[in-house]
Amino acid sequence: MQRSDMPPIHPTLHALQQRTLPKRSLHLIRLTAWLLVPITVVLAWAPLSPYLLIIRTWVLPMALGLCLLGGIGAWCLLRRWLLADASAIAPAKQWRRMVSMLEWALLLFCFTGCAIAASWQVWGFAQAKRSVLEHASESPNLNTLGRHFIISYRDFKEAAVLAERGAIAGIYLRSANVRDKSAFEIRSEIMALQRLRHRNGLPELIIAADQEGGAVEHMSPPLQSRPSLAELLIDLPTSLEDEMAGPTGAHKAAADALLAVYNYGHEQGRELRGLGVNLNLGPIADLSPSADTKVGFDTHTLLSKRALSASPYVVAQATSAYIDGLNSSGIQATLKHFPGLARVTTDTHHFTARLDTPSDWLQQSDWLPFQHSMPQAAATMLGHVIVQDLDPNAPASLSPKVVAMLRQDWGYQGLLMTDDINMGALYHRYGICESTVRALNAGVDLVLISYDSDQYYPAMDCALTAMARGELQLSQSPQTHARIARFFRPTAMATAEQEKTLLHAQL
């Protein structure tokens, strides 16, 4: 007997329990439950995915809310079948009862499992973050590993803590970090971080920005928006033979174009330096893709809008002049994205990419700009592209064979940096943890975490764990430290200015 002071049962729940729900309503509930399943699974399977960054604050509440809603509905409908009088059901319909019970039990299991999975992953992330911020702060391995990370930030206070503890080597400035701020405000924040480093006896932070000009200008505003470098290269001959065979006037037009590229780099570098930036993630040394190269679902690479030219000769000259211009303003450059994306048919922001062109052919085309300009570049960015005849088992950013080629065969002594490890080509195949450990074991100097800064914590936690277990050797760490030290030596601005004066005199 129900007590009089007990709250009344909700009519819907009462209807479910008493098996008085109309068939149409029952079908609607069943359909809704099954529609909720894929949404809930996506949210619960990867609540910390970079793809869900924009709604991350709401992912766990949404996942748990959907699980609760679906679970209650499934339980009530399962319970009504369990409490039903089996003897009152016609024998011919007993099988339908069993199928319905299994269906609602399966839904209940699914929603419960999703709730546990989502909670477990969020708890694991919280533990990784706590481990890095609290426990690992006393470990010497944190400083050793910190030399190998450049990260973005959403919370300046968090970035300050990591910078102060030596847990990072540098900061990547996103457009969100500079939006609605003056150049003075941005520089003040950067200088505050650099003072923290100095006060704790730590090396200066690398402050990186992605300011190519044209389609990619993450610092504009507040910086001036500029056209693509490609617009300055129309008068450049596309090969050495064309340059030698051209008339005298063509030589002067080519020299004027290169001087314009130099001035472009110089002015852009001067503006970046005003923000406190010391490394630009440019120039882009990829060739323009041919008309035959079709990239499916290309949302971010957009190489046809960003590349300077389809001619290796033009790109080599332009990247060299641009780097000289940047250096003359005290800004270092990053060549990207080795091994080149011109022949790749997928967007590495989302999918695995493979380069099947023989490396002998690439040496004569796509790699010429890299080989030509690498001696001037403080850093080279490795893309998430598998070079089939170099290392068919790993993308360049995780490949010890690619690193060995650049270091030993090409003699490159600058910093080797991954492209953002949040990108789908790595994240979907390896995950943040394995990507980080594999990149560092391959000999890469810097791991870039730019789009989703939260991924730094599981990445660092995994690296610390791997190092403690002996699974991460960091044989390149002393060389990385030396390369970063060289990075901060004063740029030869006077020499660059002398070269500019000499070029004017020749013209």
Same domain, 106 and 151: no
Q: What is the pTM of this model?
A: 0.83
Same domain, 86 and 224: no
127-146 tens-digit pLDDT:
999 888 887 667 788 999 99
Q: Is 38 exposed, middle or buried (0-12, 13-18, 19+ CB in 10 A)?
A: exposed
What residue type is assigned to position 445 of the chain? D
Q: What is the pLDDT of residue 51?
A: 86
Q: What is the pLDDT of residue 503?
A: 43
With beta carbons less than 8 A apart as the criterion, state whether 457 and 130 touch.
no
Same domain, 97 and 149: no
- Element (H or E) spanning 403, and its range? helix 400-404
Instruction: Give a yes or no: residue 148 inside a domain.
Output: yes
Instruction: Give a yes or no: residue 2 inside a domain.
Output: no
Which residue did the predictor score with more confidence, 222 or 234? 222
With beta carbons less than 8 A apart as the criterion, state whether 366 and 405 touch.
no
Looking at 105, 136, 167, which one is the last position of a domain?
Answer: 136
Q: What are phi and psi of 418, to 5 degrees?
A: -75, 155
Instruction: Give a yes or no: residue 311 inside a domain.
Output: yes
Looking at 136, 166, 181, which one is the last position of a domain?
Answer: 136
- Element (H or E) spanning 272, and its range? helix 248-275
415 pLDDT exceeds 80?
A: yes
- Strands 385-387 and 353-355 turn out to be parallel
Q: Report the C-alpha gap between 218 and 494 in whole angstroms.
A: 29
Task: Give per-residue burial for 113-131: e unless 16+ CB within 10 Å, then b.
Answer: ebbebbbebbeebeebbeb
Instruction: Give a yes or no: residue 5 inside a domain.
Output: no
Instruction: Give a yes or no: residue 206 inside a domain.
Output: yes
Range of the domain at 498: 139-506
39-70 tens-digit pLDDT:
778 777 788 888 888 877 777 787 777 777 77
Same domain, 252 and 291: yes
With beta carbons less than 8 A apart as the criterion, state whether 421 and 440 touch.
no
Instruction: Give a yes or no: residue 71 inside a domain.
Output: yes
Looking at 82, 112, 136, which one is the last position of a domain?
Answer: 136
Structural domain count, the chain: 2
Instruction: Give a yes or no: residue 340 inside a domain.
Output: yes
Instruction: Output the CA torsion sign for 444, 450, 452, 456.
Output: positive
Same domain, 312 and 391: yes
Residue with tokens 């088992």: 393
CA angle 368, 284, 181 (to 5 degrees): 160
Q: Report the C-alpha gap between 211 and 230 in whole angstroms.
A: 14
Q: What is the pLDDT of residue 39?
A: 79
Same domain, 75 and 165: no
Same domain, 61 and 199: no
171 band by pLDDT with thresholds 50, 70 and 90: very high
Same domain, 234 and 202: yes
Same domain, 439 and 394: yes
Same domain, 440 and 480: yes
Same domain, 355 and 422: yes
- Strands 447-449 and 149-151 turn out to be parallel
37 band by pLDDT with thresholds 50, 70 and 90: confident
Instruction: Give a yes or no: residue 212 inside a domain.
Output: yes
1 band by pLDDT with thresholds 50, 70 and 90: very low
350-400 tens-digit pLDDT:
989 999 999 999 999 999 999 999 999 999 999 999 999 999 999 999 999
294-340 tens-digit pLDDT:
776 667 778 878 889 889 988 999 999 999 999 999 999 999 999 99
CATH of the domain at 421: 3.20.20.300
Same domain, 112 and 215: no
